[in-house]
Structure 1
Amino acid sequence: MKILISTIFDYPHEGGLSTHITTLKKGLIEHGHEVDILSWSDCSKRHRLFIRGLTFSIKRMNKGKGQLFGDRQRMNWLKRKLAKIYQEYDVVNTQDIFATLAAKDLNIKTVQTVHGYYTYEATSRGAIQNQSPEAHQAKRYEQEAYTSADDIVCVDQRLKEYVRAESGREAHMIHNSVDSSLFNISSEEIDQVRQTYQLPKDQSILLVPRRLTEKNGVIYPILALPKILKQFPNTLLVYAGSGELIDTLKQVASKLNASSHIAFLGSVPHSDMIGLYKLTDIVLIPSIHAKGVEEATSIAALEGMTAGKPVIAGAVGGLKELIQHQENGLLFENKNEHDLAEQVLSLLNNSELSHALAKNAQHYVERNHSHLASARTILEIYSS
């Protein structure tokens, strides 16, 4: 089978979507199929700059209009590219609603993978104003995409229910997956990552591998940090990711006199992320419920578990499906920094519990989130 994976976003880029595409492609190829990727990164630099300039100008007048304009322009470019090549493929697996709409009028079988809530996420990060005409239009785009796809895959149960409520369609549910072989790295490679990011060996490291946006709850580890430092003053909170909340996080850290215990690494290549997981003591996935948005089956959580580290996550969305509290990780109450601090302290005070959770998590991912098993399941959907 010849498969095209398409998206209006850049590839590769920071975040779970890019990792999902890489992992899916590898699994499909290992099953003997041919896979290509078509993304916004394939667009010419000149056209990208032209669209970026127009989008920026419109956003200055109306953020929401600018957001939708930019995404529609990416969709139109993708549609033109697809029109030239779609006959080469048996199926296109779209990774966002606009990629689905780009394929809508072409005679090609389309499977959409739903990773999140386009409208709610755009309003959550301030790209579109809640209840605005642009928000209503965005929701119509979602509904049109879900209706037009030949089949739909969601990465958690809540997303599956959301698609049903918005479109009446029944979707398949396939959790995100991880290629565990990537985590077989040497101590020398781990030390190189430590040196690259100037991370000490003599401190307990709490890693937040998250884009710095509201739904990811990235403010809560900082709010929890003072309580943690009272018992474990030799603790370093490390953020690996970029986003619109960076200035806010730094201001809050300063007010709490915690800046010296926090490192902001910015965007980190995925190859380095593996080393970061390996040198970390605890992985934090502090996602929250924000403006209708909840975390799906977090790839960052899966990667932390695969790396053999204890994961503490917000008790929301797909994270509650992934992590069984006190069995293969810990959950903390939504938006409750005190509970988060207590969960961190429970691990720092009990190395046996930390080790047991990490070991159980590793085994759980191996059994339930293999990239080969996920690829096999989605191939059955392609074939049908």
Structure 2
Amino acid sequence: MTRVLHVLDHSLPLHSGYTFRTRAIMAAQAASGLEVRGITGLRHAADGPVAEVADGLLFHRTRGEVTGPSGMREWREIGRLADAIVALARDWRPEVIHAHSPALCGLAAVRAGRALGIPVVYEIRAFWEDAAVGNGTGRAGSVKYRLTRALEDRVVDDADAVFTICHGLRDDLVDRGHAAGKIGLSPNGVDLSMFGDPPPRDEALASKLGFGAEDPVVGFIGSFYDYEGLDVLIEALPHLRERHPGARLLLVGGGPRDGMLRAQAARSPVADAIHFTGRVPHHEVERYYSLVDLLAYPRKASRLTELVTPLKPLEAMAQGKLVAASDVGGHRELIVDDETGTLFPPHDAEACADALADVLDARSAWPAMRERARVHVREKHDWARNIRRYQDVYQLLLTRAADGKLSAAA
């Protein structure tokens, strides 16, 4: 039975898109017969034991603090994580180390893999320099941006195999000069065992929010970053209500743009039709999904959104929900316009409103579109199937290791 150690920035019991993807991967691998554990770096900012079980998965924690100026501090962070990986590996003896972005995790894994003589797989979920620009904590072209990019390139060079979550990221790496044959795809996926029949409408919650039985509800459930384009969605609502006067907008979640979005909504001529819930417990999210007729994802065009595929539209499709999204690269990899969802131009509130209204008008087409979307997720984005991509690469690397042909162990 192959043992795989996943090296992570953070993990459950924290909730984020990052931790949910990790949970899905590790749970599917365990169900397939692999032995899996995770280890997190110093940025897992949550109290807990040094070895913690969450959702049936075991995660080890790297302890301690690092200090020093920027650059030196990160280098020490990498060293502390690499030492923790080696210490754990000498006890548990994994056969493969599978590191997940950011590059700090990847470099620590490569360093540990060389010390241990075992293969390292590095998986890129996003370019973190672009994510920093997207969430407002970084600037494109800055020294930190360029250094982060260079570190990513180094990890891609040094790892034995690389995965990205979408074609956009893979194509960008190939354009930088990395060998295409070294980079596989592991697209965002859904644990379909968690998605059965869509839940019935939660009438008590609908009544609490003031939603009438005939009011069409457009929703967004996620984090409120600028790149998500929720300001465009709020601007679109008055136009949508010209064709659907009872339309409501339900925004579930929170984040850096929360205050700005609430202020914009308060100024809207249809302010009473815009509903913010704040962050809700994960086990409550399904109640809000049950009220939504159409999930909207109006991401703005940027390097981040053109290259990276989001997870939320897939989860919505798996739940049998209609989806409409801006026509950016990350969405085009997930949604076929007018087949599995609807695409509209980014940054254009009126175009967004028209697309949403067209979907709401075509009620007779809803069942077929929902079914096409669910089939697409089942055939292309089911973790029970997608983990085979990893296992094929693991076996190839283990064969090479047995033959003494691993680059990282050289």
Q: Does 1:142 align with 2:157?
A: no
Amino acid in the other structure paired with 2:184: H
Please give the residue correspondences for 1:351-370 in structure 2 after superposition, counting only pairs within 5 Å.
Answer: 351-370=363-382
Q: 1:273 to 1:166 in 2, by over 3 A?
A: farther
* Higher Rg: 2
Query: Residue in 1 aligned with 2:140?
Result: 130
Amino acid in the other structure paired with 1:116: A
Please give the residue correspondences for 1:186-205 in structure 2 after superposition, counting only pairs within 5 Å.
Answer: 187=199, 191=202, 194=205, 198=209, 200=211, 202=213, 203-205=215-217
Amino acid in the other structure paired with 1:83: V
Q: Does 1:252 align with 2:257?
A: no
Distance 2:205 2:46 in 1: 35
Distance 1:296 1:199 in 2: 36
Q: Does 1:109 align with 2:119?
A: yes
**Structure 1: segments with no counterpart, 5+ residues:** 59-64
- For the 8 Å contact 2:198–2:320, the answer to whether it is kept is no
Residue 276 of structure 1 and its aligned partner are, at CA, apart by 3.0
Distance 1:326 1:242 in 2: 30
Q: 1:92 to 1:260 in 2, by over 3 A?
A: farther
Q: 1:213 to 1:111 in 2, by over 3 A?
A: same
**Structure 2: segments with no counterpart, 5+ residues:** 50-60, 397-410
SS in 2 for 1:324: coil
Query: Residue in 2 aligned with 1:32?
Result: 33
Distance 1:360 1:186 in 2: 15
- For the 8 Å contact 2:305–2:328, the answer to whether it is kept is no
Query: Residue in 2 aligned with 1:313?
Result: 325
Structure 1 window deviating more from structure 2 (329-338 vs 209-218): it is 209-218
Q: Does 1:92 align with 2:97?
A: yes
Amino acid in the other structure paired with 1:318: G
- For the 8 Å contact 2:202–2:290, the answer to whether it is kept is no
Among candidates 145, 164, 171, match of residue 161 of structure 1: 171
Query: Residue in 2 aligned with 1:5?
Result: 6
Q: Does 1:78 align with 2:81?
A: yes
Distance 2:72 2:305 in 1: 23
SS in 1 for 2:329: coil
Distance 1:275 1:70 in 2: 43
- For the 8 Å contact 1:204–1:281, the answer to whether it is kept is yes
Residue 32 of structure 1 and its aligned partner are, at CA, apart by 0.9
Distance 1:211 1:95 in 2: 21
Amino acid in the other structure paired with 2:143: P
Among candidates 311, 314, 321, match of residue 299 of structure 1: 311
Deviations 1:210-231 (A, max 9, x none): 3211222222211111111223
Distance 1:332 1:186 in 2: 26
- For the 8 Å contact 2:341–2:369, the answer to whether it is kept is yes
Residue 139 of structure 1 and its aligned partner are, at CA, apart by 1.5
Q: 1:114 to 1:249 in 2, by over 3 A?
A: same
Query: Residue in 1 aligned with 2:355?
Result: 343
Deviations 1:129-158 (A, max 9, x none): 332222221221221222222111111111
Query: Residue in 2 aligned with 1:62?
Result: none
Deviations 1:2-33 (A, max 9, x none): 11222123434443222211111121111111
Distance 1:185 1:192 in 2: 17
Q: What is the aligned residue count?
A: 372
Amino acid in the other structure paired with 1:94: A
Residue 92 of structure 1 and its aligned partner are, at CA, apart by 2.0
Deviations 1:176-202 (A, max 9, x none): 1111221226857x6399479857453
Query: Residue in 2 aligned with 1:378?
Result: 390
Distance 1:42 1:126 in 2: 20
Query: Residue in 1 aligned with 2:52?
Result: none
Distance 1:199 1:75 in 2: 51
Among candidates 209, 220, 227, match of residue 221 of structure 2: 209
Distance 1:152 1:374 in 2: 15
Structure 1 window deviating more from structure 2 (153-162 vs 203-212): it is 203-212
SS in 2 for 1:241: strand
Structure 1 window deviating more from structure 2 (231-240 vs 110-119): it is 231-240
SS in 2 for 1:287: coil
Deviations 1:262-307 (A, max 9, x none): 2223334443334433332001122222255436332111011011
- For the 8 Å contact 1:5–1:94, the answer to whether it is kept is yes
Residue 209 of structure 1 and its aligned partner are, at CA, apart by 2.2
Q: 1:199 to 1:162 in 2, by over 3 A?
A: farther
Amino acid in the other structure paired with 1:223: E
Distance 2:232 2:168 in 1: 23
Distance 1:73 1:279 in 2: 48
The root-mean-square deviation of aligned C-alpha atoms, in Å, is 3.0
Q: 1:73 to 1:216 in 2, by over 3 A?
A: farther
Query: Residue in 1 aligned with 2:334?
Result: 322
Distance 1:256 1:158 in 2: 36
Q: 1:251 to 1:319 in 2, by over 3 A?
A: same
Amino acid in the other structure paired with 2:81: L
Distance 1:204 1:69 in 2: 54
Structure 1 window deviating more from structure 2 (271-280 vs 241-250): it is 271-280
Identity %: 20
Distance 1:116 1:199 in 2: 39
Q: 1:197 to 1:69 in 2, by over 3 A?
A: farther
Q: 1:84 to 1:324 in 2, by over 3 A?
A: same
Structure 1 window deviating more from structure 2 (241-250 vs 165-174): it is 165-174
